[in-house]
Amino acid sequence: MSPLGPLRPGSLRPFGQAPRSNHDGTPPRALIVALVLACASLMLLDRGTESVVDPARSVVGDVVGPAQAGVAGAIRPIVELPGFFRSREQLRAELASLEAENAGLRTEVRSSGYRRNKLLELEGLTSTAESLGYALVPARVVGLGSSQSFTHTVTIDAGSAAGLAPDMTVINNDGLVGRILRVTRTSATVLTLIDSDSTVGGRIGESMELGFLQGRGMIGGSARLDLELLDQKLVPAKGDTVVSWGSLDDDGNASGPYTAGVPIGQVVSVYASLRESTQRAVIDPFVDFTELDLVGVVVASGTRSDRAVVEADGSLR
């Protein structure tokens, strides 16, 4: 019998062979104790600013570091792929939003002059109604007369529903435009002052002398009117202002076809015919008929209309 007690099968092992685990799969107690002692030793050796294991750690870092960097570089595109697509879609959405915003700003800048002119025209029409003392129905010029008919007419976007009728006076901020020829429910045709079939009673503002103005049928910079005064002895001076003359009805409202006191134009030259013993003045109209846009139709105060009416005091009704 052994001094250490009875020997059991498998209790002896060759020299150098590692202890085998127990039959239940757990490691031997001696192995566990050895591992604990090794960990404690490493902890003691790694204390302090200069550790004895630093060289080993450096060697491991030199070997493992490049491998980790290579693996990270290889898998990074795969890991970041969903975020890439999300970022790209977000950029596309932001780009589309910015393009739409820029387009809106460009349109606003390009149309700012037009909107500013429209506002100025409306303000001017309000001042005109107040200065002349007549109520006006605002309207826009939406069409020109046919050039084949050799007439100078315009179509406005207001008609009988707005209280308009034939032979009403049409003006704008600069002066007399013409008179209404015919109306529909939503539009009206206006015979302009420069048409060759247009005859308007005029008055020299400085002398109050009366005469008649005839259109020449020309438009643009060459548009002119001929004024023949009733008193042939009077010679109007260059620069004299000509206004329309008309009459009032029993209610004190302007009676057609033309309202009195509306500016028409200015005398630019005077011709005398010795054979006919007449004086003829050439008038440059105040209205530029190539730029007609907002006009006002003179109506009686209190006229029922499907749109706002500028009253004689400049207020809107």
DSSP 39-105: HHHHHHHT-SSS-TTHHHHHHHHHHHHHHHHHHHHHHHHHHHHHHHHHHHHHHHHHHHHHHHHHHHH
pLDDT of residue 92: 76
**Average pLDDT, stretch 48-59?**
56
Query: Per mean pLDDT, which range of 18-27, 35-44, 118-127, 269-278 is the poorest?
Result: 18-27
pLDDT(7) > 50: no
Q: How crowded is the C-beta side of 67, counted as CA atoms within 13 Å?
A: 5
Quickly state the pLDDT bin for 148 (edges 50, 70, 90). very low
Interatomic CA distance for residues 189 and 209, integer angstroms: 31
Q: Does residue 232 contact residue 260 with C-beta atoms inside 8 Å?
A: no
Quickly state the pLDDT bin for 298 (edges 50, 70, 90). very high
Interatomic CA distance for residues 109 and 46, integer angstroms: 73
pLDDT(223) > 80: yes
Residues near 308 by Cβ (< 8 Å), separated by ≥ 6? Answer: 138, 316, 317
Residues present in the chain in total: 317
Helix count and strand count (H, E) for the chain: 2, 14
Interatomic CA distance for residues 264 and 171, integer angstroms: 10
Q: How far is CA 312 from CA 147, 176, 246, in A?
A: 36, 17, 18
Question: In Å, how far from its chain's centre is CA 172?
Answer: 26
Q: Any bridge partners for residue 271, and if so which?
A: 280
What domains does the chain contain, in order, with CATH numbers? 123-299 (2.40.10.340)
Interatomic CA distance for residues 188 and 315, integer angstroms: 24
Residues near 230 by Cβ (< 8 Å), separated by ≥ 6? Answer: 209, 210, 211
More confident residue, 280 or 275: 280
Quickly state the pLDDT bin for 127 (edges 50, 70, 90). confident
Q: Does residue 262 contact residue 176 with C-beta atoms inside 8 Å?
A: yes
**Average pLDDT, stretch 245-262?**
69
Q: How far is CA 287 from CA 70, 218, 245, 262, in A?
A: 82, 13, 17, 11
pLDDT(228) > 80: yes
More confident residue, 214 or 70: 214
pLDDT(68) > 70: no
Q: How far apart are the first and last CA of the chain?
A: 132
Interatomic CA distance for residues 242 and 115, integer angstroms: 32
Query: Per mean pLDDT, which range of 66-70, 90-94, 96-100, 242-246 is the poorest?
Result: 66-70
Average pLDDT, the chain: 76
Interatomic CA distance for residues 144 and 164, integer angstroms: 19
pLDDT(161) > 80: yes
In percent, the amount of the chain with pLDDT more than 90 equals: 27
pLDDT of residue 1: 47
Interatomic CA distance for residues 195 and 189, integer angstroms: 13
Burial of 89 (0-12, 13-18, 19+ CB in 10 A): exposed
Q: What sign has the CA pseudo-torsion 24, 28, 29, 32?
A: negative
pLDDT of residue 277: 63
